[in-house]
Structure formats: structure tokens, C-alpha cells
């Protein structure tokens, strides 16, 4: 499969007007194939299996938050990077998850061809399914090179998406507490 991908990259270089045999490009097809396998490794990881191993019974019922989880992904529309930070919170109802698994879930879903909106919901949905918490909140802030390098070319633009489920959707005070704790209050960063 890697050889097929390398040939595709060679063909792309030719279509762009380059000579894939020239010194600077001779190893590029192999390097690009390796890079894309790494950047899309989330397709070869099972988030269901990952989270099942790390759910524990615990009586804790206050908000749990892991914020500023850095990620890199590829926009499925242009294959250009988007990157930023994810913030995840939930209200346990007898079950908690290992904190590092929240970061790993972000990695699994971001290391696929993605749109930010879907990724945000996928993270919230899997937590709701396996933890059955009183609520889940996920906020993702990202910069998209497809908007910064091409198209509208707005270098300082940022996209913010959220998925609020259960108590995070139904109770304004819970939502406001979460947004305040992750540093988003009244629409402005501190």
C-alpha cells in the first residue's frame, strides 16, 4: 500500500510541474507517504476499545475538566492542516475515565481527515455513551490553514465549535461554569 501511495505522490509532483527524480524530490514520495500514514493513524485506532479499558466506578460527581489539549488534524476538504486546543468536561454519575484517555480520544479523532464540527461531536458522543454522565461539554478552538493560506486568506481567524450534552445543554449554570473554567466567558478569552 505504501508503494501505491508513493506512486500517487510522484504523479502529483509531475502534475504540479515538478521532476520527482530531481535531487531534492527523490525521497519526497516516501517521506510524504510516511507523513500521511502518521497524520491519519486515527483510522487504525479504536476509540471504543481505548475508552472501555479506562472507565472506573467512582462516587465523584463534580465537574471534571481537561483543557488546552493540543491537536493537529487535516481538513477533509483540502487536506490542509487545522490545529488548536480541545477542552473537555463532564459531570460523572458513578463513572469516571482516566484523564489521559480524554487526550487520547482527541488524538484518535483528530488524526483522521476531519471537519472540526464532526470531531467535536464525536468526542462528546463517545464520552456520553461509555460514561453515561449527567452531562458532557466539548469546545474546540482551531486555526484552519485552508482559510489562512488560500481562499479568504484570513491569518488571524479562529473557529470555535462546541458540543453540549445533558446537563451542559439543559442547565445554563453548568454550561457557564464549564465555559468560565476553560477560559471562555461572555464570548471573550481572558
- Supply the residues annotated as catalytic: 75-78, 116, 144, 146
Q: Is 166 left (phi over 0), alpha (psi -120 to 50) or beta?
A: left
- Give the whole-angstrom CA distance, residue 159 versus residue 166: 24
Please, are residues 134 and 93 in contact by the beta-carbon 8 Å criterion?
yes
Phi first, then psi, for residue 176 (nearest 5°) are -65, -40
In whole angstroms, give the CA distance from residue 3 to residue 75: 24
Which whole-number Å values give the CA distances from 168 to 46, 63, 98, 178, in the listed order?
Answer: 26, 10, 21, 8
Separation between Cα atoms, residue 104 and residue 50, nearest integer Å:
8
Amino acid at each position: 500500500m505504501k508503494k501505491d501511495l508513493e506512486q500517487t505522490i510522484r504523479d502529483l509532483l509531475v502534475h504540479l510541474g515538478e521532476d520527482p527524480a530531481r535531487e531534492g524530490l527523490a525521497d519526497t514520495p516516501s517521506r510524504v507517504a510516511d507523513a500521511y500514514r502518521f497524520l491519519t493513524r486515527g483510522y487504525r485506532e479504536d476509540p471504543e476499545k481505548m475508552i472501555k479499558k479506562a472507565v472506573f466506578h467512582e462516587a465523584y460527581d463534580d465537574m471534571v475538566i481537561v483543557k488546552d489539549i493540543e491537536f493537529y488534524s487535516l481538513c477533509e476538504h483540502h487536506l490542509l492542516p487545522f490545529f488548536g486546543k480541545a477542552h473537555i468536561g463532564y459531570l460523572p454519575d458513578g463513572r469516571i475515565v482516566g484523564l489521559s484517555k480524554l487526550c487520547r480520544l482527541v488524538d484518535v479523532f483528530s488524526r483522521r481527515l476531519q471537519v472540526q464540527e464532526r470531531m467535536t461531536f464525536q468526542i462528546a458522543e463517545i464520552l456520553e455513551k461509555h460514561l453515561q454522565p449527567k452531562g458532557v461539554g466539548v469546545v474546540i478552538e482551531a486555526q484552519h490553514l485552508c482559510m489562512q493560506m488560500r481562499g479568504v486568506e484570513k491569518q488571524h481567524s479562529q473557529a470555535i465549535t462546541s458540543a453540549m450534552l445533558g446537563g451542559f445543554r439543559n442547565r445554563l449554570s453548568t454550561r457557564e461554569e464549564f465555559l468560565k473554567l476553560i477560559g471562555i466567558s461572555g464570548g471573550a478569552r481572558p
